[in-house]
Amino acid sequence: MQGQSHLFRSAAFAAVGALLLTSCGGGGGGGSTPTPSPAPAPTPTPTGGLYTPPAAEALTVADVERVLAQAIAEAQARNLPSVIAVTDRVGNVLGVFRMTGARATATTSAAPNGVSIDAQNVTFPAEGGAIAKAVTGAYLSSGGNAFSTRTASQIVQQHFPPAPTTVGLESGPLFGVQFSQLPCSDLSARFGAAGSAALIGPKRSPLGLAADPGGLPLYKNGVLVGGVGVMGDGVYGSDPNILDIDNDAEEFIALAGTRGFEAPSTITADKITVDGTSLRFSDATFAGVQTSGSASFASLNGAAGSLVAVIGYANAAIIAGVAYGSEASGIRAATAAEFSNRDAFVLTDGNGANRYPLRAGTDGASNPSPLSLAEARAVLEEAFTVMSRARAQIRRPLDSRAQVTISIVDTHGSVLGIVRSPDAPIFGTDVSLQKARTAAYFSSAQAATELGANASADIRQFVPATRSFLNDPAALSGNVAYADRAIGNLARPYFPDGEVGRPPGPLSRPIAQFNPFSTGLQSALIIGNLGAHLGFVSGASPTDTPQRCTTLPDIAPGQNRLQNGIQIFPGSVPIYRGNQLVGAIGVSGDGIDQDDMISFLGAHNGGARAGGIGNAPGAIRSDRVVVTLADNRTVRLRYISCPFAPFLDTAQQNVCDGL
């Protein structure tokens, strides 16, 4: 199996070989991009709801210059010439600066056993790493939480928290989130795309989300406005031990860049706990910064390096960011006609149109009873109501309301609607759609057939591995309803999760092979897309990856069922009409139990309101599947997990029991 995987990886990344010889420091950035002139935003739903939208703040050109200058000066003081990127909240790249002498490339971590596959031990332009780190700092954060790439590192590894003394604990709560915001995602807007407004978001990331320290969020007057990322040491990895304090030059450079735009201390990750563990924000402190913050960009530009174009992401210039919540940002308040909940936000095209308006299922040719518009509306509105009552896990102050993005899809993976709360983290937009599509796909009758017919032997082998593991020759053919939590059970490098010495789940890589750049089926499905994109960014290839991830067969012209990849941490359930799969709902942006609850109760309450649809019948849910281990111990898969006393308006317990 490893030999086949290695061959697949080599083929997928053939175009990337030129990266070692090519830098994206010059050349075109997709042509000049005019300043957008979007149509006036529609009149939003009246304010005065349960949420307060973020204030309208944005990084100016002078702000971006200040962030860059402060970071450049710190890099000079530390003798680490670096590439530094700044983005706004929705992922628009506002400027990329390459210092003279900075490394042209960076390389992802190798496999523990040395047999690197998927995205392990891959070399790519350093600009891609800097942008990915900046995007991560911006996308994981909000007005209620400030997360960094160090935070991301802590929550995506095989044990949580990652440390030599924590072996045996379960995996990180957002295990797999690094393979979101992918450059092939059909949800993410693209820089310089024909006919597009320049600053419409959310934008994609060159490498998904980063777990390498050196990416931090930026705040202006206490409002999240973007992120800064630094790539200088050539190593793009993660921190396997949170028990020590790293002297990470990239993190100090990024922190210096945030001076005057630093995250409010009350909401940084170290003030937030998950399962009793405090999260990490930054090992760098301002006490250790070696510069005063008085550097001038005008004096450094040209002397210390220069602004560079990055193909597919930026021109060699600084631009201002857009205020999140404006029509130009690509995310704005919904109108009453678009969504009834007065606090709702939607994705927009910059010209007033909702990108994902509520609609009925598109799958009537293969589904005898597709979701109706009224049913899709009921599920989304009821899920939004559940969210607005729920107590947040990852927001401060305590007892804040949960804020998430909610997506609903049909059995083809077509989007039937996306809605979000005003201050939900941006990363959850793409992830909620990944989760919904994952639940629909693995619960469908077509999963085994489509995966088993894939051109990649590596992808094909996951089907017999799953059937053997579950002792079910019909597995993945529609006989079980899989929530994303169950798919996550099967996609961990230990089964049961965290129990050292156990074999991997059938959708995972073995632990000797595993690291965050190679998770199993999740990474195998998109590695060709990632390789094609990195070849494009480097200039080695004139062709970018399509705006559709995976090599699954089309279910409609130009569309497959997993257009933005799969996700393997909780927060989705399939939707049924009786025993018939008709779609799925995905939720992301808060704690995983909160995401589970909002999706599960949203499907239940929406079904009760609309009549005829709802959660999967209990008899076919994945928590009825029992796996017998080699020592004859039995382990039951999970379906969902709802938090205790989750609501702010009632002390009700066990809110998901019996449904």
Query: For residue 231, how many C-alpha atoms fall within 13 Å in the half-sphere facing its CB?
Result: 30
Predicted pLDDT of residue 193: 66
* 197 pLDDT higher than 80: no
336-433+572-623+645-659, what's its fold? Beta-Lactamase (3.30.450)
59-327, what's its fold? Beta-Lactamase (3.30.450)
* 192 pLDDT higher than 90: no
> What average pLDDT is seen over the chain?
92
Q: Is 75 helix (H, G, I), strand (E, B) or coil?
A: helix
The interaxial angle of helices 126-139 and 521-538, nearest 10 deg, is: 120
* 14 pLDDT higher than 90: no
Q: Sign of torsion, CA 71 76 79 80?
A: positive
**Cβ partners under 8 Å of residue 278, min gap 6:** 270, 271, 272
* 59 pLDDT higher than 90: yes
- Backbone region of residue 214 per phi and psi (left: phi > 0; alpha: psi in -120 to 50; beta: other values): left
The DSSP output letter for 581 is E
DSSP per residue, 262-303: PPPTTTBGGG-EETTEE----S--GGG--S-S---HHHHBTT
Of residues 195 and 163, which shows the higher confidence score? 163
* Mean pLDDT calculated for residue range 279-290: 98
* Mean pLDDT calculated for residue range 341-357: 95
Q: What is the tens place of the pLDDT at every residue in 130-161?
A: 999 999 999 999 999 999 999 999 999 999 99
> Could you give the residue range(s) of every CATH 3.30.450.150 domain in the chain?
59-327, 336-433+572-623+645-659
* Mean pLDDT calculated for residue range 189-199: 71
Predicted pLDDT of residue 48: 55
**Cβ partners under 8 Å of residue 231, min gap 6:** 82, 83, 103, 106, 126, 127, 129, 130, 133, 214, 250
CA angle 173, 624, 587 (to 5 degrees): 35
* 568 pLDDT higher than 70: yes
Residue 49's pLDDT band (cuts 50, 70, 90):
confident
AA identity, residue 111: A
CA angle 19, 23, 26 (to 5 degrees): 145
Q: What is the tens place of the pLDDT at every residue in 81-126?
A: 999 999 999 999 999 999 999 999 999 999 999 999 999 999 999 9
Predicted pLDDT of residue 199: 78
The interaxial angle of helices 2-12 and 521-538, nearest 10 deg, is: 30
* 23 pLDDT higher than 50: no
Count of Cβ atoms closer than 10 Å to residue 276 Cβ: 5
Query: For residue 548, how many C-alpha atoms fall within 13 Å in the half-sphere facing its CB?
Result: 14
Q: Is 628 helix (H, G, I), strand (E, B) or coil?
A: strand
Predicted pLDDT of residue 306: 98
Predicted pLDDT of residue 393: 95
Q: What is the tens place of the pLDDT at every residue in 200-259?
A: 999 999 999 999 999 999 999 999 999 999 999 999 999 999 999 999 999 999 999 999
Q: Is 447 helix (H, G, I), strand (E, B) or coil?
A: helix
* 8 pLDDT higher than 90: no
- The pTM of the full predicted model, rounded to 2 decimals, is 0.93
Q: From the CA atom positions of the chain, what is the Rg in Å?
A: 23
Q: Which two tokens stand for residue 463?
A: 């089907």
Instruction: Give a three-class secondary structure readout of 164-179.
Output: HHHECECCCCCCCHHH
* Mean pLDDT calculated for residue range 480-502: 97
72, 203 in Cβ contact below 8 A?
A: no
Question: φ and ψ at 320, to 5 degrees?
Answer: -80, 150
Q: What percent of the chain has pLDDT over 90?
A: 90
